[in-house]
């Protein structure tokens, strides 16, 4: 028995007394009889119920631990954001970029915004893991904001966190879409923003589907707080998946609220708040996920970084 306890403790588990003289290990369904004297008690036991513990990021968690706090960060301003905004102002048909979307870097302003995120990060409390889009602008934002030593062991890159794909509408302005693909402008008006899928691209519903897959696989990980660095469409659609929001609720909220560059949006779950409304009329569920902060950029103001509002997921068609 003592050998079994030592083995589990070497891989990060601890034994806790339950219904003497039994012991349960975190991560194991088996029970093992043991004498009370053989059980170590370096922590307080507050009830007779089993409270299995595993240490994650220096803190003890219960066996049933799942992610309860999500910190959603949009990447800093990108060269693509700058080029798209300039093209729209000038009435151009196309957006002048010579790299694929996955390789678009941060602008100088975006780099400054990412460094300013460190101010927020240092006061955000323990963060157990970092989930990031594979796109360069998201990875640059994370790298500039967080210590390298932290990122080297706790970062997960996943393609399902990438930006929305626009297919044949990529690198076209609103004028360009009307000029080159008037049939897509008509389809968009008929189907609406949520369900319109450009040929070769994705609808918002498509992005929500891959996010359901990603969150379904990862929200039950034995960690408490996770920081996600991705894109504005990803932030909006994570809200839709977790709160949850239907098409009407999501589009109403999105019409009045923008996910700003290098902003922080926070979701927590497990609260006892009754279903109600938060900023912008967004519905939150009872005993589920709750939106506590949306698109906060206080850290940018503190550090004197520019606050930018680019609708980076826009497909060139009116909302």
- Cα 29 to chain centroid distance, Å, stands at 31
Backbone φ, ψ for residue 45 (5° rounding): -105, 120
pLDDT, mean over the chain: 80
The pLDDT, as a whole number, for residue 148 is 83
Per-residue pLDDT at 42 exceeds 60: no
Average pLDDT over residues 88-100: 96
**How far apart are the C-alpha atoms of 208 and 60, rounded to whole Å?**
33
pLDDT of the residue at 54: 35
Q: Which domains does the chain have, with CATH numbers?
A: 2-61 (no CATH), 69-303 (3.40.50.1240)
At residue 9, the pLDDT reads: 45
Task: Note the pLDDT tens digit of each residue in 108-124.
Answer: 999 999 999 999 999 99
Alpha carbon distance 174, 93 (integer Å): 8
114: CB partners within 8 A, 6+ apart: 75, 76, 106, 140, 141, 142, 143, 144, 145, 262
Q: What's the CA gap between 14 and 59, in Å, rounded? A: 12
CA-to-CA distance for 237 and 150, rounded, in angstroms?
A: 27
Q: From residue 106, how far is each of 61, 143, 152, 230 by CA, in Å? A: 37, 12, 21, 13
- The confidence score (pLDDT) of residue 285 equals 54
CA distances from 80 to 95, 103, 263 (A): 8, 10, 17
**pLDDT score recorded for residue 19:** 34
User: Above 70 in pLDDT, residue 52?
Assistant: no
In sequence order, what are the beta bridge partners of 41?
none
Q: What is the mean pLDDT of residues 40-64?
A: 34
- Specify the higher pLDDT residue, 65 or 93: 93
The two structure tokens encoding residue 121: 């990060």
Q: Which stretches of 123-173 are DSSP H helices?
A: 136-145, 148-154
Give the confidence band of 24 by pLDDT, cuts at 50, 70, 90. very low
30 or 284, which is more confident?
284
Over residues 218-252, the pLDDT tens digits come to 999 999 999 999 999 999 999 999 999 999 999 99
**CA of 317: how far to CAs of 85, 190, 255, in Å?**
14, 12, 13
CA angle 156, 313, 203 (to 5 degrees): 90
């Amino acid at each position: 028995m003592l050998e079994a306890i030592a083995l589990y403790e070497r891989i990060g588990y601890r034994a806790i007394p339950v219904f003497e003289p039994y012991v349960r290990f975190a991560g194991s369904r088996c029970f093992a009889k043991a004498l009370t004297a053989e059980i170590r008690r370096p922590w307080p036991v507050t009830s007779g119920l089993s409270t299995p513990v595993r240490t994650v990021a220096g803190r003890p968690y219960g066996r049933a631990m799942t992610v309860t706090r999500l910190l959603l960060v949009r990447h800093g301003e990108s060269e693509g954001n700058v080029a798209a905004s300039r093209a729209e102002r000038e009435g151009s048909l196309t957006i002048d970029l010579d790299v694929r979307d996955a390789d678009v870097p941060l602008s100088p302003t975006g780099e400054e915004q990412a460094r300013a995120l460190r101010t927020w990060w240092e006061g955000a409390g323990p963060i157990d893991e970092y989930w990031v889009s594979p796109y360069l602008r998201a990875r640059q934002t994370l790298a500039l904001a967080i210590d390298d030593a932290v990122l080297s062991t706790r970062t997960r890159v996943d393609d399902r966190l990438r930006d929305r794909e626009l297919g044949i509408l990529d690198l076209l302005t609103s004028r360009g879409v009307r000029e080159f693909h008037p049939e897509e402008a008509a389809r968009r008006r008929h189907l609406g923003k949520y369900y319109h899928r450009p040929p070769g691209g994705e609808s918002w519903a498509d992005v929500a589907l891959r996010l359901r897959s990603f969150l379904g696989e990862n929200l039950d990980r034995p960690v408490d707080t996770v920081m996600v660095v991705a894109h504005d469409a990803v932030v909006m659609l994570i809200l839709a998946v977790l709160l949850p929001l239907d098409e009407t609720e999501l589009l109403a909220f999105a019409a009045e609220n923008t996910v700003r560059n290098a902003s922080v949006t926070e979701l927590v779950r497990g609260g006892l708040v009754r279903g109600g409304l938060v900023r912008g009329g967004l519905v939150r569920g009872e005993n589920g996920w709750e939106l506590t902060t949306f698109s906060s950029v206080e850290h940018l103001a503190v550090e004197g970084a520019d606050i930018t509002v680019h609708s980076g997921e826009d497909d060139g068609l009116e909302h």
